[in-house]
Amino acid sequence: MAKKTKILIAPLNWGLGHASRMIPVINELCKHNVEVIIGADGNSLNLLQNEFPQLESFVFRDVKISYSNSWFNISLKTFVNAISEHRLLKKIVAEKHIDVVISDNRYGLFNSDVMSVLVTHQTTPILPKQWKAFSEITHRILNYIFSKYNRVWIPDLESDDNLSGKLSHGKKIKNAVFINPLSHLSINDNTDVKYDLAVILSGPEPYRTDFEKIIIEQANKTELRVCLVRGSQLPVLTAANKNIDIINFAGSRQIGDIISQSNLLVCRSGYSSVMDIWANNIKAVVVPTPNQPEQEYLAELLNTKGWINTTTQNNFSLLKLNELSFDANKHFQCDNILEREVICLLEKANYPKRR
């Protein structure tokens, strides 16, 4: 019997977005009779283990980041971690006989002995204002890193009507391909409404906890039916009234059901959330994580296009959400480029001369 191609999936553990957008990738891979192994850390590992309990998984630690750190410190930690995880990957490839590595925003997971794919929507990241002078050198460093991968998958539309703007359409990357937006959710429009509001929290502390406190304190003063998915196992620090259902974590199916049963979604403007909103025509308000330029840019970009509503965490008001107008999203059906890329990847992985 021919040996199955063995594929390592390794998302970054900054919030749950990097892991959640690996769900459609794993589902696509599983259609092709391959062996998928999950290597992740923290909540990202928990999410994928719950989603795919039948798959082998292990702890593959990545860098711990707080957005209270400066951009320079975050960049330095990311670079040092990329070197460390690159060395560790060599050991993992040998021990687990890996043929393909698909990583999400982990810049050290390339290896000359296997096919390596990087999934990212930030080929041209936005730097804080005080660090704008480093934009060109940052792009050159990233371009060098991208060149080490066989393929860079950008989960966005290639056209001018896209979701990520200059984050992935700023400068071209030679080995990159737009695979169209990825969503792990399935929404049922015919479901009875149970909640006025679904709130899906994620992202770094202390901002996640701060926003959770705002939501609960404001909801306690209303009769709104709220479902709060915390995205954390930390204790709930704010007492909630009976009109608020609180869930620590929810898998794709449960989140889809909660959103289907809600009149409105409130979530961060992380790119994975943006893709879910676009792909499923979800009525939503996005609230960028403070001091995170990428989320602030995405929220402003899509609000300007009229595709999404946004407000800041400091100005958030449950009572004012009903004053917002919601136009239909600009969603349209697009080709399954991911399937084509997976087939091409597997053909190359099984070819004797891989590189």
Please tell me the pTM assigned to this model. 0.90
Q: Could you tell me if residue 295 is left (phi over 0), alpha (psi between -120 and 50 degrees) or otherwise beta?
A: alpha
Residues 268 and 300 in one domain: yes
Residues 245 and 296 in one domain: yes
In a domain, 354, yes or no: no
Residues 261 and 135 in one domain: no
In a domain, 102, yes or no: yes
In a domain, 175, yes or no: yes
In whole angstroms, what is the distance from residue 266 CA to residue 318 CA?
A: 10
| The two structure tokens encoding residue 63 | 């860098």
Residues 56 and 177 in one domain: yes
Please list the ranges in the chain whose pLDDT falls under 50. Answer: 352-355
Domain count, the chain: 2
Give me the CATH number covering residue 58.
3.40.50.2000
| 298 closest CA partner among 266, 272, 260, 332 | 272
Provide the pairing of β-strand 265-267 with 244-247.
unpaired
In whole angstroms, what is the distance from residue 190 CA to residue 165 CA?
A: 33
Q: What is the CA radius of gyration of the chain?
A: 20
pLDDT at 291: 85
In a domain, 238, yes or no: yes
Name 142's Cβ contacts closer than 8 Å, sequence gap at least 6.
107, 123, 125
| 184 closest CA partner among 21, 28, 331 | 21
Residues 210 and 117 in one domain: no
In a domain, 177, yes or no: yes
In a domain, 139, yes or no: yes
pLDDT in tens, 81-123: 777 898 999 999 999 999 999 999 999 999 999 999 999 999 9
Residues 110 and 78 in one domain: yes
Residues 225 and 290 in one domain: yes
pLDDT at 170: 81
pLDDT at 322: 76
In a domain, 189, yes or no: no
In whole angstroms, what is the distance from residue 154 CA to residue 173 CA?
A: 10
Residues 58 and 139 in one domain: yes
In this structure, are residues 200 and 218 in contact, taking their beta carbons and an 8 Å threshold? Answer: no
Residues 78 and 173 in one domain: yes
In a domain, 329, yes or no: no
pLDDT at 69: 54
In this structure, are residues 20 and 49 in contact, taking their beta carbons and an 8 Å threshold? Answer: no
Residues 340 and 315 in one domain: no
pLDDT at 70: 59
Residues 172 and 213 in one domain: no
pLDDT at 335: 84
pLDDT in tens, 11-65: 998 778 899 999 999 999 999 989 999 999 998 999 999 999 999 999 998 766 5
Whole-number percent of the chain with pLDDT over 70: 90
Name 305's Cβ contacts closer than 8 Å, sequence gap at least 6.
330
> Domain limits at 85?
6-181+335-349
| 309 closest CA partner among 326, 292, 293 | 326
Residues 106 and 165 in one domain: yes
